[in-house]
């Protein structure tokens, strides 16, 4: 997905840092130290199929593996309050593509897009932060507990005496 690829490259290369300037030490466009844009999965640039590692790492391309394995999938995303400097702004699109791929495979997934977070926990602003993650856990933990409970007690072989 081109938008997600651009977001990852922008983060790796810290492309937003010059926009922050020195007057704003808390600028959210300053992602930290730069690394090569090829650092994660080789070159991200789609020229002469040199981006094959990026394409192979694309989770959307591998949703069929999860479906065949019977792996439960839960996806939570927001929209970062519509702020392109917020990672969730970019992640929302990738999450939606993953859900669409699972739907195409007719594989059930629990998908929550809480948008700007206004209806998702008291401290969620739709961003990539604790206020939203805390509410994700409030929703997810009971689901996880129910899944474990439905499996029943673990069975171990009886010890042999003799």
Q: Where are the domains of the chain?
A: 1-57, 60-150
> 64 or 154, which is more confident?
64
pLDDT given at position 74: 93
Q: How far apart are CA 77 and CA 156, in angstroms?
A: 39
Average pLDDT, the chain: 82
Q: How far apart are CA 127 and CA 81, in angstroms?
A: 7
Report which of 88, 85, 90 is spatially closest to residue 136, judged by C-alpha positions.
88
> 52 or 16, which is more confident?
52
Q: Is the dihedral of CA 122, 126, 131, 134 positive or negative?
A: positive
Whole-number percent of the chain with pLDDT over 90:
29
Contact 113, 96 (CB under 8 A): yes
Q: Does the predicted model carry a pTM greater than 0.85?
A: no
Sequence-distant (6+) residues with CB within 8 A of 104 are none
Q: How far apart are CA 33 and CA 17, in angstroms?
A: 10
| Residue range 90-116: mean pLDDT, rounded | 91
């Amino acid at each position: 997905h081109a938008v997600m690829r651009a977001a990852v490259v922008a983060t790796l290369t810290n492309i937003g840092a010059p926009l922050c300037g020195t007057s704003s030490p808390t600028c959210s466009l300053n992602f930290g130290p730069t690394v090569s844009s090829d650092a994660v999965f080789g070159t991200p640039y789609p020229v002469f199929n040199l981006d094959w590692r990026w394409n192979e790492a694309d989770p959307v391309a591998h949703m069929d593996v999860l479906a065949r394995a019977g792996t439960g999938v839960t996806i939570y995303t927001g929209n970062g309050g519509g702020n392109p400097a917020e990672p969730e702004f970019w992640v929302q699109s990738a999450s939606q593509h993953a859900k669409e791929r699972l739907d195409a495979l007719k594989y059930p997934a629990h998908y929550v897009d809480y948008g700007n977070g206004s209806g998702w926990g008291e401290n969620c602003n739709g961003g990539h932060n604790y206020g939203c993650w805390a509410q994700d856990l409030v929703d997810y933990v009971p689901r996880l507990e129910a899944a474990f409970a439905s499996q029943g007690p673990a069975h171990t072989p009886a010890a042999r005496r003799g």
